[in-house]
Structure 1
Amino acid sequence: METSELRGLIVDWGGVLTAPLDEAITRWVAAEGIELEAYAQVMRGLVDEAESPIHELERGKLSPAEFEQVLAARLRGQGLQIEADGLLARMLEGLQALSEDMVGLLRRARAAGLRTALLSNSWGEHYPEHLWIGAFDEVVISGRVGMRKPEPEIFEHTCRLLELPPQQCVFVDDMRVNVLGAAQLGLVGVHFTSYQETVQELEILFGLDLR
């Protein structure tokens, strides 16, 4: 593919525009007195269920308040005393500060003529949208649209909003499973590990100076 054919840039929120999710969770469990492995065990159990409460939350079929009750009950099953109300806000507090580098990259990408979109699997409405003004043409939050990554429908939906075919879009995410899901649909996948590596890769893909 010629680099000039790439015209869209789609990025994840948590772990790409913010600090790594693992860092936020590690701070939260320490503050709540939870053993990290106990939390991980509970989360694995929730993911592995036939109708995963996590996936239902991300699709908007389970409300944040309902998910907080489910998660708190599972943690209490591990012998922990956890307050359900406000649980997600406490968990995600470490993701409220955005990466100025990544937001700046997106603004420069738009100024250079690229179409940009945010694509996030939501755990409630905790997005600091006022901090990314001017960065996106479209914002796709899974709970608002009833779809979640890495299912192909949400990638197709986002590309339609950008009025671009998947083959003309680059997708950046810190979770490899989501990058692979996008690539299977034809998007160019970029696995985010750091700003420096990502900006270098995007400059090569788009043939633009994005710094």
Structure 2
Amino acid sequence: MNDRKGLILDFGGVLTTPLLTSVTEFESDEGLPQGSLLRQLSRDPELLRLTEDLERGSVTQAHWNEVAAQRIGVGPGNLLGRIFSGLRPEPLMYETAAAARQQGIRVGLLSNSVGRDPWDLYAGCDLDTTFDAVLISEEHGLRKPEPAIYEHMLKMLELPGSACVFVDDSPHNLPPAAALGMATVHARDPRATITDIQNLLGLGLPS
């Protein structure tokens, strides 16, 4: 008997097309060398700190845009919106969330925010009706992979970690969930991700 009754999904890269695809398109549009943006974002200590502050809601998206644009060497106008303009919803994953709920699974969204003005990552997504619980990092002053944000998500779903499956496209976000007893899925391809979810929850899901 499967005792797992909860499914927790990341947003960008799980419920959307891959982040890397959009970033690569941005680099091409801006005339930047391929891979240069990710290298800058991952190796520049100021940008790393600033991005963490953005995810916690302690700096604005406009401020991030201004500072990051200077470091990257591009125009600041709606920078995050431009970087991620290629993101599209991943229909199969939304169908999976709906099918899981129909079969009695509580489904939560756990997402690191990038601010919501001037560009809103979640625009057009009816989060409140799609999920049983929604946790956007900036609204709580926490961010993945800080353990407290996973604990808060479990409280919102009213489930123990051992009853949940957590899905994220970033592997470094998985260990804190596993430490709380959750089964984890590293999302790479939607169909493979759905198969993993189906096997862990024992459900019939779209494929």
**Shared topology, TM-score over 0.5?**
yes
C-alpha distance in 1, partners of 2:137/2:162? 22
- Pairing partner for 2:171 from 170, 176, 179: 176
Runs (4+) off by over 4 Å: none
Q: Structure 1 residue 195 and structure 2 residue 187: aligned? A: no
Residue in 2 that maps onto 1:107: 98
Q: Secondary structure at the match of 2:150?
A: helix
Contact 1:167/1:186 (<8 A) preserved = yes
TM-score, normalization by structure 1: 0.89
Residue in 1 that maps onto 2:15: 17
C-alpha distance in 2, partners of 1:37/1:92? 15
Offset from partner CA, 1:36-79 (integer Å, 9 cap, x none): 34323321233x45971111111111110111111011113xxx
Residue in 2 that maps onto 1:92: 84
Taking structure 1 as reference, are residues 75 and 161 closer, same or farther at Cα in structure 2, changes over 3 Å only? same
TM-score, normalization by structure 2: 0.91
Equivalent position amino acid for 2:109 in 1: L
Offset from partner CA, 1:162-189 (integer Å, 9 cap, x none): 0111111110011111112211222111
**1:131 CA drift (Å):** 5.4
In structure 2, the gaps of 5 or more residues are none
Structural mapping, 1:53-202, within 5 Å:
53-76=50-73, 82-95=74-87, 97-125=88-116, 126=120, 127-130=122-125, 134-202=129-197
- Give the percent of matched residue pairs that are identical in Structure 1 and Structure 2: 38
Contact 1:110/1:135 (<8 A) preserved = no
In structure 1, the gaps of 5 or more residues are 77-81
Contact 1:6/1:168 (<8 A) preserved = yes
**1:133 CA drift (Å):** 6.4
C-alpha distance in 2, partners of 1:50/1:72? 10
Q: Secondary structure at the match of 2:107?
A: strand
